[in-house]
Amino acid sequence: MLNPPSAVAAWGDNSGGQSAVPPNLEDIVAVAGGDYHSIALRRNGTLLGWGYNGDGQTTVPTNVLRFVAIAAGGSHNLAITERGGVVGWGRNDYGQRTVPTSASNNVLSIAAGDAHSLALLSGGTVAAWGDNTLGQSSVPQGLTTVRAIAAGHNHSLALRINGTVIGWGFNLYGQTIPPATLTNAVAVAGGYLHSAALRANGTVLCWGDNTYGQTNVPVGLSNVVAIAAGDFHTYALQSDGVIVGWGDERYGQLSVPASATNSLAINSGFFHGLALVPPLRLSLRSTADGLVVDWTGGGVLQWSPTLSGPFTDIPGYSGYYTNTDITAPARFFRIRR
């Protein structure tokens, strides 16, 4: 199910422009991050990309059919069309964007690792292609009843209907072997050398490499509705729209900005974070008490004596402000994310 039309918040590494979200995006229903790039799916089924484009990863395809889902790998991307087929673009040195016949239709979801790709088929089986140097594309024989998939850097994960998780590929740090305590999983995510799962009770379990604390789930973390994993960090989205991150902070990927308040969905690039957030909406109305400013979508209210600025923050207000001094010079209002 797609998210409602939203704006995009981004933070963390921006060395390729992957966190520099294009302006005036308010119709995005899905977002995904790769190594140095990001992609987004618009409400009308078209695609948008930004960041590093050395391998054509932000040169998004156009299609007669609308796209309904996206996934970003290291330097390649995948998208599902409304008829269940998969389109790939970007780097292709391992054939990671060359979609096999087995994934030409009836695809429910997709995932992309550093240089390999996965597709969940309608029958509950998984197709994989691209780099298989470490077995990441060698789907275990007999794997069925799969409900969700995830791709780490060089490993793959499948969530079965019964809430168990199966992993394959590179396993030096145990990232493909979930703990025996993992039950009732409803979502999975793969990082560089670690993995994460969301349980039905809203808690998170991580396993694999913990060099940067990426598997140290914060004590007391609960009410989680979605998870995402970067190279060495992990995110959890709580039911109140708050994003909690742990692990590597070298690029600011754990410093979730105020613009990501009330987030609707999360995703992660290798060293950057992405979230869908409500679009900013501002309205003005005159009352007996003064000029009332209402706004939605979070953000900080600002004012200026001129339309061209400079604008000054009005701190301490959230969604509602009344300008009571109607005899003062004109004021212009806007919202800052």
The CATH number assigned to the domain holding 46 equals: 2.130.10.30
Per-residue confidence (pLDDT) for residue 227, from 0 to 100: 98
Q: Is 287 in the same domain as 213?
A: no
Positions of the chain with pLDDT lower than 70, given as ranges: 1, 326, 328
pLDDT tens, position by position, 47-56: 999 999 999 9
Q: Model's pTM, two decimal places?
A: 0.90
Note every long-range contact of 54-57, with CB atoms under 8 Å and residues 24 or more positions apart, other chains counting.
Answer: 55/90, 55/91, 56/89, 56/90, 56/91, 57/89, 57/90, 57/91
Q: Is 166 in the same domain as 264?
A: yes
Per-residue confidence (pLDDT) for residue 53, from 0 to 100: 98
DSSP 244-304: EEEE--TTSTT---GGGTT-SEEEE-SSEEEEEEPPPEEEEEEETTEEEEEEESS-EEEEE
Does the CA dihedral 83-89-94-95 come out positive or negative? positive
The answer to whether residue 16 is domain-embedded is yes
Beta bridge partners, 283, equal: 294
Per-residue confidence (pLDDT) for residue 315, from 0 to 100: 87
Q: Tokens 């997709």 label which residue?
A: 110
Q: Is 231 in the same domain as 286?
A: no
Per-residue confidence (pLDDT) for residue 154, from 0 to 100: 98
Q: Is 288 in the same domain as 202?
A: no
Joined together, the tokens standing for residue 107 give 């695809």
Per-residue confidence (pLDDT) for residue 76, from 0 to 100: 98
Among residues 242, 258, 277, which one ends one of the domains?
277
The answer to whether residue 87 is domain-embedded is yes
Per-residue confidence (pLDDT) for residue 1, from 0 to 100: 66
Range of the domain at 213: 7-277
Provide the number of structural domains found in the chain: 2
Per-residue confidence (pLDDT) for residue 282, from 0 to 100: 81
Per-residue confidence (pLDDT) for residue 326, from 0 to 100: 67
Per-residue confidence (pLDDT) for residue 42, from 0 to 100: 97
